Amino acid sequence: MVSMHEDYPLILEDVTFTYEGSRKPALKDVDLKIRRGEITAVLGRTGAGKTTLIYAMGGVIPNYVKGELKGRVLVEGLDTRDYPLYELAMHVGVVMDDPEAHIVSFTVWEDAAFGPSNLGLPKDEILKRVDFALDATRLGALRYRNPYNLSGGEKQSLAIAGVLSMMPNVIALDEPTSMLDPLGSMRVLSVLKELNRRYGITVVLSSFDAEEIIGLADRIVVLDGGEVVIDGGCREVMQEVDMLERIGIRIPDVSKLSMMLKMEGVWREGLAMDIDEAFKHIADMLRDKRTPPFRIDSVAKEDIGTSLTKPVEPIIRIRRLSHIYPSGVRALRDVNLDIYSGEFVALIGQNGSGKTTLAKYLCGLLKPRDKSIEVIVDGLDLRKASMKEIVRKIGYVFQIPEQQLFFATVREEIGFGLRNMGLPEEYVERRVEEIIRILGLEAYGDSITSSLDRGKKFRVVLGSVIAMDPKIIVVDEPTTGQDWIDSIYVCRLLDDLRRRDGKTVIMITHEMELVARFADRVIVMHEGGIILDGTPRYVFSKPEILRVTWVQPPQITRLSQMLSEYGIPGDILSVEDMHRCITHILGGGVDGSTRV
């Protein structure tokens, strides 16, 4: 008789988990069976229970993270309550969302060897396992590199290699692409697909983004408030658009578009899952139409940046800026840049293109050594300025918020900069409460900062920066640890500060949909230099240039470019504009003057 775990290596039976010190369960009455060889994606908003579920599957709960666990979690038939973490790790490997949390050694090879070495295995067995893990994750050529010098995608691949060397049958990953650029995300997802295909490894991964898991996952489990609310095949789940949007999960643009066209009665298939499927159906619809094409009323086709009305003097002026790190990596190459007051600038490009290094110069964390270099911020020469002078002009929010948290509670953290500036305590307390209200943190004012999820930590750090009222705000990856609704919230807040208070916003991001929605200027970096600079429409209309950076325009823009021969403009930025465009053509518009 075949035991249940032969077919289902992960079984959760009526699992409820409440973290120590909390009164509300993070998981509630979860029943799941993960089939062997299946790739399962777990979708949900921040706080839905995704991380808790991954940790429970891997035995991190209750062996390391403490709290009250009810029900049973079985890993290859082993009850996670009854076995130590190191033994469970030979059956299921857990990969956390921050790959640097996995780094323990000074070479890639040693890092991958750490787990099996701690099991006391024979040397030949360790060598065999490490070779397998590095080959499977495509890191063989980097075995002697320092892990900290790898790209984001390579670090995440190394975290997976460290788990693989333990030879588990199951890998559970928490937000494996949340901190990666498009190239890094593509690398990690393709590694997971290959591990599943070649070795039959069962994969469970959590994500905010439905678009990235289409074509990868066999099954989707949707969590809301710690409960499983949808569970089924990928196509089946993605048809539940209304429910997914109601609980805050962002669906692919093409799925939303096909739903809108279905409501018009012109889309008669199931909702589109990916861009190729959408293209096929829409091209069939438009093939015999002879309607003149839409004309988008936009200055986007003007040359770089000329569409923006600018003051005479820039608020940021950079000339001849280059930077070489001690390792020999050239991060910046002769950068010349002007940024003007009141702009919302998106700084994009793959990891290692120089974005963060440029931001560090803007904020005084790096200082020019060559006298020919100019970095002027609101009239302040950063070569000579003190940090106290700089923070009054420009505030910087790091990608990893933990690096910027110094105090125990949220209120203390937000008030730190104000107190450091010597402002009266009465003003500080009033300002802190104002910022807490603006950021929607009223319930967390006295919370311990280290106990917050990463999205809320990011808000606290953002609050500590905007509390000091700088003219310029730089945010590095505002989507880190946040779902789509929270990401939109943060970007709207930044945009409100720009429109209402005249702030200049510089956002470093890999989320092109946010760029299309909020930025009025996009600067594209590649190998330390600027290769494109202009409005979102202008920049996204240059896919052949963007291709070298591994940056992709938003999904709806890529679809518009594929449909250009059918009268669709190639620089559409929103689903709503695409919908109007298609219905205009299908309705037989009489001239080409209709504007989006």
- DSSP string covering 348-400, please? E--TTSSHHHHHHHHTTSS---STT-EEEETTEETTT--HHHHHHHEEEE-SS
Domain count, the chain: 3
Quote the CA–CA distance of 237 and 229 in Å, as a whole number: 11
Quote the CA–CA distance of 49 and 35 in Å, as a whole number: 21
> Which of 244, 266, 290 is a domain's end point?
244
Residues of the chain with pLDDT under 70: 1-5, 290-311, 481, 588-596
Q: Are residues 236 and 276 part of one domain? A: no
Q: Are residues 152 and 271 part of one domain? A: no
Please report whether residue 548 resides in a domain: no
Q: Which amino acid is at 380?
A: L
Long-range interactions of 250-254: CB distance < 8 A, separation 24+: 250/208, 250/209, 250/210, 250/211, 250/483, 250/484, 251/210, 251/211, 252/210, 252/211, 252/214, 252/555, 253/211, 253/513, 253/554, 253/555, 253/556, 253/559, 253/575, 254/278, 254/555, 254/556, 254/559
> Which of 244, 272, 288 is a domain's end point?
244
Q: Are residues 111 and 46 part of one domain? A: yes
Helices 182-199 & 123-136 angle (0-180, nearest 10): 120
Please report whether residue 306 resides in a domain: no
Q: Are residues 166 and 22 part of one domain? A: yes
pLDDT at 86: 86
Q: Are residues 279 and 389 part of one domain? A: no
pLDDT at 2: 45
Where in 96-176 does DSSP place strands (E)?
170-173
Please report whether residue 72 resides in a domain: yes
Please report whether residue 546 resides in a domain: no
Please report whether residue 549 resides in a domain: no
Please report whether residue 368 resides in a domain: yes
Q: Are residues 173 and 144 part of one domain? A: yes
pLDDT at 550: 84
Query: DSSP of 231-252, one letter per residue?
Result: EEEHHHHHT-HHHHHHTTPBPP
Q: Are residues 348 and 273 part of one domain? A: no
| Structural domain harbouring 288 | 254-298+556-586
394-397 β-sheet, strand order: 394-397, 472-476, 504-508, 344-348, 521-526, 529-534
* Domain harbouring 79, CATH code: 3.40.50.300
The neighbouring-strand residues paired with 347 are 508, 523
Quote the CA–CA distance of 19 and 213 in Å, as a whole number: 29
pLDDT at 539: 95
Backbone angles phi, psi at 539, to 5 degrees: -65, -45
Please report whether residue 395 resides in a domain: yes
Q: Are residues 83 and 137 part of one domain? A: yes
User: What is the tens place of the pLDDT at every residue in 112-128?
Assistant: 999 899 888 899 999 99
Q: Are residues 460 and 442 part of one domain? A: yes
Q: Are residues 340 and 206 part of one domain? A: no
Please report whether residue 132 resides in a domain: yes
pLDDT at 593: 40
Q: Are residues 266 and 219 part of one domain? A: no
Number of H helices, E strands in the chain: 24, 20
pLDDT at 466: 93
Q: Are residues 119 and 9 part of one domain? A: yes
